[in-house]
Structures are given as structure tokens and as C-alpha cells.
Amino acid sequence: MAGTVLRRVLRRELRSVCLGVRSMASEAGSPTYQYETLKVTTPGEHVLHVELNRPEKRNAMNRSFWSEMVLCFRAIAEDPVCRAVVISGAGKMFTSGIDLMDLGSDFLQPGDSDAARIAWDLRRKVTRYQESFSVIEKCPKPVIAAVHGGCIGGGVDLVSACDIRYCTQDAWFQVKEVDLGLAADVGTLQRLPRIIGSKSLVNELALTARKMLSDEAHSSGLVSRVLPDKAALLLAAFDLAAEIASKSPIAVQGTKVNLVYSQNHSVQESLDYMACWNMSMLQSEDVLKSAQAALERKPLKDITFSKL
């Protein structure tokens, strides 16, 4: 069974390679995705696969990674062809977190600067790094995190900003920052409490830096599905992305925008925002096409929705 699944995944990836590792540049109006730390391919129609691509460094997040994440997901947000995204890690693990060797010097301050100027500069740098994952949340395209092996430190920040999380049985998650002498500052402490229902568990993970294994991640709600291995994980993530991409992009992206908005607003504020949103979006041709498909009992994958 595992061999069959692996062959299916490899065929999909090979097809992407045979198509020139398509970056969707061949599609009119679509960007070209070329980065040092990220590999972007198209495993299926309207689906992008963003792979953390420093396997020899266990996908440690170096200086280039933090800037390229922003560039990549801002491009994806504007890509008229892309409708769903899968993000995974190359090699033996998802990510080992921050590349301390590369980033350490970024936070060293000259000894002759006063405290206010040092603090001002550090705040500017921290907010810049925060945007590297906030850009995932801001992207209107649904993002599926496919985690295998370790997901450490900044990796938890990253997946917390994603919309859906799958993992393998051997996956584990670790909020590592307290062991490095700092509080997690790029999203975990803000997003994880909204994802995991137990405040006690979130506090325990953040204050002890202990590992959370896949079964606990599933039972606590951090991930919604656990797969036996990486091949099965990617297959499931690509299938999920393909299902999402088959639906109206107006409906899917509108749903994500309103889900994100509702996280930080009251029910009534969110309802008011939704009413204003749909007073225009309900006029979409996608509503008629979807309704017609339902009446004719046709799958949505057989319906052609216009680019968005």
C-alpha cells in the first residue's frame, strides 16, 4: 500500500518536473516563483506546492527564507490561477526552526548605541520577521501545512498561520523559544491559543518547550489528520488542495477572508462585515454555475470558473 501511494506521489512530482517544474509562468498574468530557500511547483491544476528547500540544513530558517516567504505569498495572493497551496518541507523533517548561525548577527547591537535606539531597531526587525508568517494568514488562498518529522520553533509559528494542518505519525511539534532565552515572538503565542482549545496545554507547551507528538497534536486540534508517512501525507494534502481548488474561487477566498476577520471581531461585527461582503459577491456568476451543477448533479470539478 505504501509503495503504491509513493509511486502516485512520485508520478505527480515527476509530471511537474517534466513540465519544466512549472511555476505557472506560462499562464497569462501569473508570477514566476524562483527562490533560494523555497521550491514552488504545481502538483495539480490551480494548486501550488511551496516546499521549504534547505534539506541539508534541516530546513533551518535563514535570512533569505524570511524575506522570500513574504515575496512568495504576496505573489501567490495576486496569482489569478492559484486557488490553494500546500506547504511542506524537503528532506527528513519539516523544519528545525531559526538558523541561529545565520540570524544571530542580525540581533547584535553596537555597544555605543543608547537603549532607545537599540530597542527601536530590534522592534523593527521583529515586526519584519512577524510579517513572514502573517503573510500566510493574509493570503486569501487556503494554505495547507503538511508536516513530517520535526516542526520546531519557527515551524510552529509558520503552521499556526496556515488554515489546515496535516502531519505524519512521526511528526512532533516544539515551541522551542524559552530554551533559547526568549519568548516566541512571530505568532505562536498569539495564534496557538485560538487553535488549541486548552489554555493550560498551550501554556505548558510554551513554558516548558516539551515535544508534542502527532497523537496529542491531533487530539488537541492542532492538526486535523495524521497520515502514516510522508508519501501518504503529501498525497492527502494534494487531494485536499485539489478539492478546494475545484470550487468557486469567489466562494473559497471569501470564506477564508471572513474566517480570518471573525477571529479578531465580535459576532455582530463579523456578521456586519459578512453582509457587506456578500452584497457584492452574491452577484457572482459562480453562484449560478454552482447552483446549476447541484441541480444537474454534476461535480464542481467539471465546472469552469473564471480566474480571480
Task: Tell me how far apart the alpha carbons of residues 152 and 154 are, in angstroms, rounded to a whole number.
Answer: 6
Residue with cell 511555476: 23
Sheet of 225-227, strand order: 38-44, 47-52, 84-89, 143-147, 164-168, 225-227
What b/e readout covers 164-187, taking b as 16+ CB neighbours within 10 angstroms?
bbbbbebbbbbbbbeeeeeebebb
Catalytic choice (98, 144, 164, 196)? 98
Q: In degrees rounded to 5, what are phi and psi of residue 52? A: -65, 120
Structure-block grid coordinates of residue 296: 444537474
Does residue 98 carry a catalytic annotation?
yes
Task: Tell me how far apart the alpha carbons of residues 117 and 99 are, in angstroms, rounded to a whole number.
Answer: 25
Catalytic choice (170, 185, 216, 229)? 185
Q: In degrees rounded to 5, what are phi and psi of residue 151? A: -130, 95
Catalytic choice (91, 97, 154, 187)? 154
Does residue 177 carry a catalytic annotation?
yes
Task: Tell me how far apart the alpha carbons of residues 72 and 60 are, in angstroms, rounded to a whole number.
Answer: 17
Structure-block grid coordinates of residue 147: 508536516
Catalytic choice (68, 99, 177, 286)? 177
What residues are annotated to the active site?
98, 154, 157, 177, 185
